[in-house]
């Protein structure tokens, strides 16, 4: 029997997808983390954290107010809440997986910036189609932890119009799309640091959940949680 662990997942409109994805594994319990429930204190009860997808991060948090006209839905209270979650996970060295918006808010936490609208800034559209996610390949850095986890090339789903621009301090890009969009981020120096993988795609809802860029992402995170 596997060690029981508690995963905190930040709230979003598709929260159930993330909850089911991790609860499919033996011994995993879940706590919802949400400013709407005013339950920041619950982050202390978890063994690992997943930052979920959702709204755009307000550009004031990365000092680019001129980017505001390019943004869509924004929830500054959620931004503030999740930045506090990140402050806690970093201070306590809690394993963390960031997904889509989760990559973006984590990158901002570490001092990075975002591309506010990918097509407006000269790259192909990475948003989802009306009824389903877009899919494209990514190339993974051969020297990265992500390569050890999932491989050096693969197909992932895509449903975002923003992306990382300048990567935050202490972080490094570990995967890019064919048109040069950052698709993954991890720590530059892992020595003495907790697990941190940030992915721009949605491993929790890929068509093929056995794809290593879905299954192995989840399993590597849960293993890091159990071993922390």
Q: Which residues are catalytic?
A: 100, 202, 204
In whole angstroms, what separates CA 102 from the centre of its chain? 3
The owner of tokens 């924004």 is 74
Handedness of CA 217, 114, 173, 8 (dihedral sign): negative
Q: Is the dihedral of CA 201, 147, 21, 88 positive or negative?
A: negative
Tokens 């990918």 found at = 118
Helix (H) or strand (E) holding 31: strand 28-33
**Cα(103)–Cα(108) distance, integer angstroms:** 9
CA dist., res. 165 & res. 112, Å (int): 7
């Amino acid at each position: 029997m596997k060690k029981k662990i508690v995963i905190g997942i930040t709230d979003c409109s598709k929260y159930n997808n993330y909850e089911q994805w991790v609860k499919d594994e033996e011994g995993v319990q879940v706590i919802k983390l949400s400013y709407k429930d005013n339950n920041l204190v619950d982050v202390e009860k978890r063994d690992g954290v997943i930052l979920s997808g959702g709204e755009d991060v307000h550009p004031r948090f990365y000092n680019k107010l001129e980017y505001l006209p390019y943004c869509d839905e924004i929830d500054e209270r959620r931004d503030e809440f999740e930045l506090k979650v990140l402050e806690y996970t970093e201070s306590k060295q809690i394993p963390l997986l960031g997904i889509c918006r989760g990559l973006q808010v984590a990158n901002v936490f570490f001092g990075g910036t975002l591309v506010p609208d990918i097509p407006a800034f000269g790259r192909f559209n990475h948003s989802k189609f009306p009824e389903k996610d877009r899919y494209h390949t990514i190339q993974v850095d051969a020297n990265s932890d992500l390569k050890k986890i999932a491989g050096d090339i693969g197909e992932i789903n895509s449903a975002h119009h923003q992306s990382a621009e300048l990567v935050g301090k202490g972080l490094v890009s570990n995967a890019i799309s064919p048109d040069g969009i950052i698709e993954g981020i991890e720590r530059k120096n892992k020595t003495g640091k907790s697990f941190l993988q940030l992915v721009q795609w949605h491993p929790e809802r890929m068509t093929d959940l056995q794809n290593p860029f879905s299954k192995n992402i989840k399993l590597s995170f849960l293993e890091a949680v159990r071993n922390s």
